[in-house]
């Protein structure tokens, strides 16, 4: 089956199957007022999803329940609640091994409980889309937004995209399936949003029509054998055991790990095409920049407005993809900057570390301000941090 040949045909719900480019860029859109959780429902309705499995955990529970409604309506082929997050992600793997387009959601402790599955997904080249609605991890208990768990999944081999708004979230969901399923990519993708700030807050979202849907997943374009019990040889293994204690097996394993990272790199081309690049930038000719991802960028925008009222000019760089990390894009975007502030919703400051690792003259990078455990980050906190650093600098910095 060639799914491209399905373009123009209709699925069992009467939705017309369209090219991703049409869905993302050409289809007429209407404005709706909805939460991020509702965005999940509408995104999945238009995404030809075969299987969705989840286990409830705040704040993603509502989104998973709404996908269940789509199953009842007939838009999702199979849907159920698993025993726990580890079981859920294992079941997602099974569905994907069998050629299904798979969607799941998780948050905080659920992400950590499932953790082992993520590198297994990547190593098996399973293009599962997981929506991570980030929150605090215990202890102490917090269900409010905190991006620490994103730092914990950086090296699992998945693509990692971070949406700032509900609109961006919708577009990332739709584009995420397509990028992840490209034959030269074909690894899982984590589409992250900040729980509650995006998942439970209503925002204006431009929706494509509900009577169109993405092309289905084509497992026969997979870079690894699709399990097909109808066509011989049926026992072709996806993940051969390379556990012998000798050089040959070690070299195979190392090459395999490299190939997963290579797949992440290959996604750059497709990402640029479908979501307009790995970063977005505004006024990057300014001496001062705020660089971050997710709703830290949104708060940064407000801080920029407040600073502008005081005659201080600050630019913005929004990081949209964290894996692959936008190395070259950031180098170019920050080449004029004398100070780079990285506000983050986590105690660790992992985004600042990622940025410092790739920039020349990385003393320019100020890690912070930070909040964590579910605290909000008032824009005034960012303003205060910038002004404090400016006051302490001997070197003149001009906006």
Partner 1 sequence: MVKYRVEVGPEAYLPPSAACAGVVLPDPGQALIAGEVVHEDVGMEEAARRFLSAKIPTIFPGPLVLWNWNEKSVKKATAIKAMYDELKAHNPEALLIPMPDYRPKYPKINPEVEINPNHPNLTIWHNKIDVCMFVGVHCHQANLSLKIIRGGTNCYTIAMCAQAGHEDAMLTFRDATPDKIWMLVEAIKDVKKTL
Residue 19 or 259 having the CB closest to partner 1: 259
Q: Which of 242, 306, 347, 390 binds partner 1 (CB under 8 A)?
A: 242
Q: Considering the rule CB under 8 A, would residue 178 count as an interface residue with partner 1?
A: no
Q: Considering the rule CB under 8 A, would residue 233 count as an interface residue with partner 1?
A: yes
The answer to whether the bond into 147 is cis (omega within 30° of 0) is: no
Q: Which of 229, 231, 391, 396 binds partner 1 (CB under 8 A)?
A: 231
Residue 5 or 252 having the CB closest to partner 1: 252
Q: Which of 182, 194, 329, 344 binds partner 1 (CB under 8 A)?
A: 182
Residue 34 or 264 having the CB closest to partner 1: 264
Q: Considering the rule CB under 8 A, would residue 225 count as an interface residue with partner 1?
A: yes
Q: What token pair was written down for 231?
A: 């066509």
Q: What token pair was written down for 15?
A: 């939705």
Number of residues that bind partner 1 (CB under 8 A): 35
Q: Considering the rule CB under 8 A, would residue 262 count as an interface residue with partner 1?
A: yes
Q: Which of 141, 204, 206, 251 binds partner 1 (CB under 8 A)?
A: 251
Give the shortest CB-228-to-partner 1 separation in angstroms: 9
> By the 8 A CB rule, do 317 and 337 touch?
no
DSSP per position, 254-270: HHHHHHHHHHHHHHHHH
Q: Considering the rule CB under 8 A, would residue 396 count as an interface residue with partner 1?
A: no
* CA pair distance 385, 158, nearest whole angstrom: 33
* CA pair distance 346, 372, nearest whole angstrom: 5
Which range touches partner 1 (CB under 8 A), out of 11-19, 237-245, 286-294, 370-378? 237-245
Of 277, 94, 269, 76, the closest CA to residue 182 belongs to: 269
Give phi and psi for 367, each to the nearest 5. -80, 105
Q: Considering the rule CB under 8 A, would residue 155 count as an interface residue with partner 1?
A: no
Q: Considering the rule CB under 8 A, would residue 229 count as an interface residue with partner 1?
A: no
Q: What token pair was written down for 169?
A: 């979230």
Residue 125 or 135 having the CB closest to partner 1: 125
Q: What token pair was written down for 289?
A: 């920049």
Q: Which of 8, 140, 240, 311 binds partner 1 (CB under 8 A)?
A: 240
The answer to whether the bond into 140 is cis (omega within 30° of 0) is: yes
Residue 258 or 376 having the CB closest to partner 1: 258
Q: Considering the rule CB under 8 A, would residue 357 count as an interface residue with partner 1?
A: no
Q: Considering the rule CB under 8 A, would residue 227 count as an interface residue with partner 1?
A: no
Give the shortest CB-257-to-partner 1 separation in angstroms: 9
Q: What token pair was written down for 20?
A: 């991703």
C-alpha dihedral, 30 to 31 to 36 to 41, nearest 10°: -30
* CA pair distance 345, 370, nearest whole angstrom: 6
265 HSE (CA, 13 A, CB side): 8
Residue 219 or 315 having the CB closest to partner 1: 219
In sequence order, the 6+-apart residues with CB closer than 8 A to the CB of 200 are 35, 36, 37, 59, 62
What kind and span of H or E run contains 358? helix 350-358
Q: Which of 26, 116, 155, 265 binds partner 1 (CB under 8 A)?
A: 265
Q: Which of 30, 138, 252, 336 binds partner 1 (CB under 8 A)?
A: 252
* SS3 state at 137: coil
Give phi and psi for 40, each to the nearest 5. -55, -50
Considering only residues 275-334, where is the footprint of partner 1 by CB under 8 A? Answer: none
Number of residues written out for the chain: 399
Q: Considering the rule CB under 8 A, would residue 261 count as an interface residue with partner 1?
A: yes
* CA pair distance 133, 111, nearest whole angstrom: 9
Looking at residue 10, what DSSP letter applies? B
Residue 283 or 327 having the CB closest to partner 1: 327
Q: x/- site string to partner 1, residues 75 to 114, per CB under 8 A? A: ----------------------------------------
Q: Considering the rule CB under 8 A, would residue 273 count as an interface residue with partner 1?
A: no
Give me the residues that bind partner 1 (CB under 8 A), please. Answer: 125, 182-184, 186, 221-225, 231-233, 236-237, 240-242, 244, 248-249, 251-252, 254-256, 258-259, 261-263, 265-266, 268-269
């Amino acid at each position: 089956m060639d799914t491209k040949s399905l373009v123009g045909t209709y699925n069992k719900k009467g939705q017309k199957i369209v090219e991703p480019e049409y869905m993302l860029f050409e289809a007429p859109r209407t404005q709706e007022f909805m939460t991020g959780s509702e965005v999940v429902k509408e995104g999945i309705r238009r995404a030809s999803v075969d299987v969705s499995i989840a286990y409830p955990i705040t704040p993603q529970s509502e989104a998973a329940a709404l996908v269940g409604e789509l199953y009842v309506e007939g838009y999702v082929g199979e849907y159920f609640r698993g025993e726990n997050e580890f079981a859920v992600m294992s079941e997602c793997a099974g569905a994907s091994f069998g050629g299904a387009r798979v969607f799941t959601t998780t948050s905080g402790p659920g992400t950590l409980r499932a953790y082992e599955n993520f590198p297994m997904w990547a190593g098996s080249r399973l293009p599962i889309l997981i929506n991570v609605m980030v929150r605090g991890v215990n202890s102490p208990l917090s269900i409010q937004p905190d991006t620490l768990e994103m730092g914990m999944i950086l090296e699992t081999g998945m693509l990692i995209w971070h949406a700032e708004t509900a609109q961006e979230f919708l577009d990332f969901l739709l584009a995420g399936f397509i990028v992840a399923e490209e034959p030269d990519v074909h690894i899982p993708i984590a589409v992250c949003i900040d729980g509650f700030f995006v998942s439970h807050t209503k925002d204006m979202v431009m929706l494509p029509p509900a009577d169109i849907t993405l092309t289905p997943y084509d497992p026969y374009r997979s870079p690894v054998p699709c399990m097909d019990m109808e066509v011989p040889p049926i026992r072709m293994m996806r993940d051969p055991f390379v556990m012998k204690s000798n050089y040959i097996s070690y070299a195979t394993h190392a090459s395999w790990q490299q190939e997963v990272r290579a797949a992440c790199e290959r996604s750059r081309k497709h990402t640029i095409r479908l979501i307009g690049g790995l970063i977005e930038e505004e006024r990057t000719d300014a001496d001062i920049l705020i660089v971050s991802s997710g709703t830290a960028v949104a708060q940064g925008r407000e801080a920029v407005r407040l600073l502008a009222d005081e005659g201080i000019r600050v630019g913005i760089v929004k990081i949209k993809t964290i894996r692959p990390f936008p190395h070259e894009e950031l180098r170019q975007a920050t080449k004029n900057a004398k100070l780079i502030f990285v506000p983050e919703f986590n105690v660790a400051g992992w985004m600042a570390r990622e940025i410092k690792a790739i920039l020349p003259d990385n003393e320019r990078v100020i890690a912070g301000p930070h909040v964590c455990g579910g605290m909000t980050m008032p824009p005034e906190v960012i303003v205060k941090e910038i002004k404090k650093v400016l006051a302490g600098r001997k070197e003149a910095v001009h906006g």
